[in-house]
Structure 1
Amino acid sequence: MKVLLRRAASVVSGMPPPLILSILYAVLIVLGAALLMLPFSHTVPISWSDAIFTSTSAVTVTGLVVLDTGADLTWFGQFVVAFLIQMGGLGLMTFAVLILGALGLPVGITGKLYLREDLNQSSVHQLSKLVLTILKVVVFCEVAGAMLLTLTFVPHYGFWQGIWEALFHSISAFNNAGFSTFPNGLVPYATDPVVNVIIPALFIIGGIGYVVLHDIFTQKSWRAWSLHTKIMLLGTGFLIPWSVGMFAVLEWSNPDTLGQFDSIFARLTVSWFQGVTTRTAGFNTTDIGALHDSTSMMFISLMLIGGGPTSTAGGIKVTTFVVMIIATVAFFRRQQQLHAFGRSIAPDQVMKVMALTAISVILVFVAVFLLTASHDGHFLDISFEVASAFGTVGLSRGLTAELSEFGRAVIVFVMFLGRVGPLTLGFFLATHSAPRVRYPEGKIYLG
């Protein structure tokens, strides 16, 4: 037995940290599915396919559902989903470091390496301070969000049920999961002032990234903020008005979405909520299946961009998108060096952006192809579903419930890679090998 344990430890120690983290997330998904399969977790018969899909969606903080979370799951089942969301959003290694810290145990260099990969950091320095910032932000935001949401949910559902609904939606919102215990999502609260302020505040804070929040809390001056924070805030400051404004323009006269409201203020309120939720959270206050095709195409692009690194959001990330734009502008200006806010951007960062974007496009294309080949659904619905799964968003035009077992497997795989894929990619991109041979430069005609 000891020999087997030693061999297992030797194999694990030889694995790259991103691979180990991916395995840990997979184990968490299986354990979550097993808990959901328990007789007292559900009110209707469910299959292992239902459980695996739900558990994956929760751990990857996506929000695509094949079950009615509020009706098909008991209180214990809903608690399991909330716990999986919290673990997936917070990060397994972050959670482990918090537990070790509470017990007064050292993390060790190996644990710091895993934590560095989990938080997508380039070094192990300042990790303890970052974890402390994460803990403060998570506890404060989720508790404060739940307390404020009780103002809406307690009057509707009673004291205890209202508190649970507020806590569940606070956890789901901050972790950008998009899970709701209501059958129609947040559509009944489309114009509720508390929901339209608190829920977006939670998922915007959760999706902007812990590094940005750490800079904002510890550095009071804009000049002292890191280049990452400045680029992230710049990208977010552009994408939010763009998505909100374009949603209002495209859907203003649609009788199934904004057109059903007579009040201009109500239309603007729904536009605000649906515009900011699209890149990360996946909540809905209107019928997503009734959107115009043009709006759906815009949503696909926003879901693929996603939120910020070291956050609870998915996608290729806002910083990746901004650096890609900066690189494109620099190319047309014949600039040899990329720079922003008085800081240069290293060529290896640009290469990472190119690799991440290319792999993401290939993954999405292959998934769309597989679902198109195996389903008779509308092409736009399939593309929307895949983009939502990859961006761990959770919005759907109604295709999720119609997926075959093969289709569910494809979406589960895309959700999983959307959550842990960048970790594995980061490992391979960080592996350097000095070239032993130099080759003469060749000419390639591009474009």
Structure 2
Amino acid sequence: MVNISPPQLLILVFLFFIMLGTVLLRLPISTTESITWLDSLFTTTSAMTVTGLAVVDTGTSFTLFGEVIILMLIQIGGLGIMSFAVLIYMMLGKKIGFKERLVLQQALNQTSVGGVIKLVKNLFVFSFIIEFIAFLLLSVRWIPEYGWIKGSYYSLFHSVSAFNNAGFSIWPDSLSRYVGDPIVNIVITSLFIIGGLGFTVLADLKSTKEYRRLALHSKLMIFGTFALNIIALFTIFLLEYNNPNTIGGLSTIDKFWASYFQAVSPRTAGFNTVDIGSLERSTVVFMLLLMFIGAGSASTGGGIKLTTFIIILLAVVTFIRGKKEISIYRRTISDTFIFRALAISMISVLFIFGALFILCITETEQPFLKILFEVISAFGTVGLSMGITASLTPLGKMVIIFIMFLGKLGPLTLAFSLSRPEKAKFKYPNEDLLTG
């Protein structure tokens, strides 16, 4: 019998659903006009990894059946394949074994198997309640505009897509037509901010009412998300204020809404209300950092994760201040998590560099900045693009598919699936090394 580790099982199940989705989207009933197998694979991977990059227009290239398939892939990919498997097991009255809990631990990026079943239960309850509330709020806005059937469907599609940080939209310009609409801006951004916090944080908030009693992870995620979003809001507002191709021609309040939306969207959401390709270069570079950081662990988002970024920052500050231990909120962070954060970041940078190198060879007609933006957007499962996705070469599309896959599962999951770690039976002597 083949011994498959939890990371390997997670990858195999994920690949199975991608293959299944590729076949379903290739059916004549799924599309308004025939698409290639590669485009079907790209769309399926983008949906399963809740990225949102698209080589064909979702609203015009797919039928209602095809769009429903994409929506199901987004929901499965966002909440996790293994989470749905556990839900089915529980509905059938089956016992969840230790190996299944290990796979769940890997899928939900938890530090231990304890409490993973409870987390899965909370995950589904939170998700469906939040999506339903958002559906009702968007229906109030879109049913009067599009009618009962279309308005309800558009509300459902964008609620699921936004909460799962997928970025898929029915309209070719994403949500640009609602750049100054308060309801759409508030509901959509609230969905992907909540989804990006992570289900661990949501469960902690449910059981703990006081901020000071929250777990360290929850405190860092809440404070970090708030701080980063505020910084991003004012940065983009100032950088784009006089740009006539983005927010320059808007009223002051609409400039605020557009800046706010573009500030929080790079945290793996993928929706946009202005033309990303028309942003100032300084804004694009700033958004690259936001996309690389991403959302929270056990969330619907990607990237290296906000807590990883915070740990690395704290490690740098701690070293500069001459201290030996990282401490925050009267808690000390273990060296294990510091090494893990460094490993995640380094592996991510190497894969991004490799993908960028290949695309610079294959996509010779595209500017470097647009290629870099595409790669980091794929890795962060963001879905924002400067308009080059559809024109990528076949090899370029395959590279982006792999990077989306890597970004969703996480670089460490892939690394662990390929490695066979062994405990050292002895320890070598220390020796100093020159650095810096």
What TM-score does the superposition give when structure 2 sets the normalisation length?
A: 0.97
CA distance in 1, matches of 2:15, 2:188: 29
The residue matched to 2:46 in structure 1 has which SS?
helix
- Asked whether the 8 Å contact 1:117–1:423 carries over to 2, the reply is no
Structure 2 counterpart of 1:309: 297
Inter-CA distance 253–442: structure 2 relative to 1 (3 Å threshold): same
- Report how far residue 222 of structure 1 moved: 2.1
Alpha-carbon distance in structure 2 between the residues aligned to 1:425 and 1:26: 13
In 2: Cα distance, 1:106 partner to 1:347 partner = 36
Given the alignment, which residue of 99, 115, 124 partners 2:113? 124
Q: Percent identity?
A: 45
The superposition leaves residues 69-113 of structure 1 with CA deviations (integer Å, 9 ceiling, x where unpaired) of 111100000000000000000001111111222222211112111
- The 5 A counterparts of 1:189-208 are 189-208=178-197
User: How far is 1:443 from its partner?
Assistant: 1.9
Aligned to 2:358: 370
Equivalence for 2:157 = 168
Q: Distance in 2 between matches of 1:76 and 1:428?
A: 35
Determine the C-alpha separation between the residues in 2 that align with 1:400 and 1:428.
29
Q: Is the 8 A contact 1:153 1:162 kept in 2?
A: yes
Change (3 A) 1:429 1:236: farther
The answer as to 2:431 corresponding to 1:445 is no
- CA gap of 1:165–1:284, structure 2 versus 1, over 3 A, is same
Task: Give, in whole Å, the separation in 2 of the partners of 1:438 and 1:110.
Answer: 31
Structure 1 segment 32-431 matched on structure 2, within 5 A: 32-261=21-250, 263-376=251-364, 377-422=366-411, 424=413, 427=416
The SS at the match of 1:316 is coil
Residues in 1 aligned to 2:355 and 2:413: alpha-carbon distance in whole angstroms: 19
How big is the shift at 1:423?
A: 5.2
Partners of 1:141 and 1:197 lie apart in 2 by: 14
Partner residue in 2 for 1:7:
none
Q: In structure 2, what residue type is equivalent to 1:285?
A: T
CA-CA distance at 1:426 after TM superposition:
7.5
Could you tell which deviates more after superposition, 271-280 or 166-175?
271-280
Shift of 1:16: 1.1
> What is the DSSP-based 3-state SS (H/G/I as helix, E as strand, rest coil) of the residue aligned with 1:260?
coil
CA deviation digits over 1:316-349, x for unaligned, max 9? Answer: 0000000000000011111111111111111111
Q: Does the aligned pair in 2 maintain the 1:352–1:429 contact within 8 Å?
A: no
Question: Structure 1 346/353 Cα, relative in aligned 2: closer, same or farther at 3 Å?
Answer: same
Q: Check whether the contact 1:62–1:415 (CA below 8 A) recurs between aligned residues.
A: yes
Contact 2:89 2:95 in 1 (8 A): yes
Take 1:156 and 1:428, find their aligned partners in 2: how far apart are those partners? Answer: 49
Aligned to 1:6: none
Q: Report the count of equivalent residues.
A: 435
- How far apart in 2 are the matches of 1:226 and 1:422? 25
8 Å CA contact retained: 1:44, 1:72? yes
Alpha-carbon offset, residue 278 of structure 1: 1.2
- For 2:6, the equivalent position in structure 1 comes to 17
Moved more, 414-423 or 348-357: 414-423
Deviation at 1:199, TM superposition (A): 0.2
Partners of 2:7 and 2:417 within 8 A in 1: no
**Is the 2:229–2:264 contact (alpha carbons within 8 Å) kept by the matching residues of 1?**
yes
Deviates more, 1:138-147 or 1:149-158: 149-158
Q: Describe the SS at the equivalent of 1:435.
A: coil
Contact 2:359 2:371 (C-alpha < 8 Å) held by counterparts: yes
Cα separation, 1, equivalents of 2:410 and 2:227: 26
TM-score, normalised with respect to structure 1: 0.95
Q: 1:209-257 CA deviation, whole Å, 9 max, x = no partner? A: 0011111000112232111111111211211001111110100000000
**AA of the residue aligned to 1:346:** S
Q: What's the RMSD between the two structures over aligned residues?
A: 1.4
Structure 1, unmatched stretches of 5+, are 1-9
Q: Deviation at 1:275?
A: 0.8
5+ residue gaps, structure 2, are: none
